[in-house]
Amino acid sequence: MAKNDEFRILGRRPGNEESIRFTYRGVTFDQDSFHVAAGLNAVDTREYVDRTFAALQAAGQVVARMGAYKPRTSPYSFQGYGRQCLPWVFESAGRHGIRVISMEVTHDEHVDEIREALRLTGEPAGVMLQIGTRNTQNFELLKTVGGQRDFPILLKRGFGITLHESLLAAEYVASEGNRDIVFCLRGMKTNFGDPHRNLVDFGHVPVVRRLTRMPVCVDPSHSVGTHEASPEGIPDVFHVAAQGVIAGANLLLVDMHPEPRRALVDAAQAITLEELPWFLEDMAIAREAWLRRREAAAGRAGA
């Protein structure tokens, strides 16, 4: 059996080539679309949440990221405000026209808590359930999110397993019934990526698009982990994000904070609200280049 056949549902092969495509809260995700999900790594204060959503709204964005449940390496680190922050986060999102929030869940109870908080607040926004890199092979969690149809799923690649293993994790989700999955590259854990936090793996964007039908996300923040910049003043986060976009990425997950130095989690890697318009402009350039590259390739195919 060709390796590709292991991805029975999500695999791209003759007769099974159509992109995974879903529209959630009016936003369509597939292998052609392009969205940015910027926002807080971890929810901290109401003021920062409001200011972050306001900046996104001002920039015309309808997708965001917000972490309420934070898996941390040290038991003594801030673990996120959990369910208690959900109502006001969702209300703020709704007030600012944000339709989809990528939010990590680490336990099946979190899915119920999110569903309940959305119900109690009148469904002001939607949530994409994010499975973090530390849970890529948490098979019971994968079955939980795959077995519900209320929310789409953003599955992160495992930082210490093969791409093939991570794609099988996505297949686990799909095999439970929910195919509304976006696959996210976020860098690999090895010292060879130094001085970046992880070794950037965005060269795998075309590989995931070739092997599977899933839309592909890249997370430049967790890949780079710092706010260092090239001599031109362009942050490394922008550079690697552009590398993902120029290769056809469909979603960008980006840490952003009104005052990064005060962020409770991953302060070093967040872009600022002031940088958002520049970041979006830079990504529009990369996206335009991707569309032109695709057109050039189509021209060759037709020649």
Residues that bind ligand PEP (CB under 6 A): 41, 67, 104, 132-134, 156, 186, 219, 222
Task: Judge contact between 208 and 214, C-beta under 8 A.
Answer: yes
Token pair, residue 141, equals 């969690």
Q: Which of 157/209 has CB closer to ligand PEP?
A: 157
Minimum distance of Mn ion from residue 67's CB (angstroms): 8
Q: Which of 247/253 has CB closer to Mn ion?
A: 253
28: β partners: 23
Q: Which of 61/269 has CB closer to Mn ion?
A: 269
Token pair, residue 25, equals 């809260």
The footprint of Mn ion on residues 61-100 (CB under 5 A) is: none
Q: Left (φ > 0), alpha (ψ -120 to 50) or beta: where does 298 sit? A: alpha
Q: Which of 11/158 has CB closer to ligand PEP?
A: 158
Report the alpha-carbon distance of residue 190 to residue 10 in Å, rounded.
28
Minimum distance of Mn ion from residue 265's CB (angstroms): 6
Minimum distance of ligand PEP from residue 253's CB (angstroms): 6
Token pair, residue 29, equals 């995700």
Minimum distance of ligand PEP from residue 99's CB (angstroms): 19
22: β partners: 29
Token pair, residue 114, equals 């999110």
3-state secondary structure of 163: helix
Q: Which of 96/186 has CB closer to ligand PEP?
A: 186
Question: Residues for the chain: how many in total?
Answer: 303
Task: Judge contact between 158 and 169, C-beta under 8 A.
Answer: yes
Which of 174, 41, 167, 26 is CA-nearest to residue 103? 41
The site string for Mn ion over 222-261 (x = CB under 5 A, - otherwise) reads ----------------------------------------
3-state secondary structure of 141: helix
Token pair, residue 75, equals 């038991």
Token pair, residue 212, equals 């599977």
- DSSP category for residue 221: H
Minimum distance of Mn ion from residue 133's CB (angstroms): 9
Provide CB contacts within 8 A for 18, sequence distance 6+. 213
Alpha helix (H) residue ranges in 59-131? 86-95, 108-120
Cβ-proximal residue to ligand PEP, closest one: 132
Which does residue 67 bind out of Mn ion, ligand PEP, none, counting CB within 5 to 8 angstroms by kind?
ligand PEP
Cβ-proximal residue to Mn ion, closest one: 266
Query: Binding of Mn ion at residue 104 (CB under 5 A)?
Result: no
Minimum distance of Mn ion from residue 72's CB (angstroms): 8
Tell which one of 266, 273, 275, 280 touches Mn ion (CB under 5 A). 266
Q: Which of 61/133 has CB closer to ligand PEP?
A: 133
Which does residue 104 bind out of ligand PEP, Mn ion, none, counting CB within 5 to 8 angstroms by kind?
ligand PEP
Minimum distance of ligand PEP from residue 72's CB (angstroms): 9
Q: Which residues bind Mn ion (CB under 5 A)?
A: 266
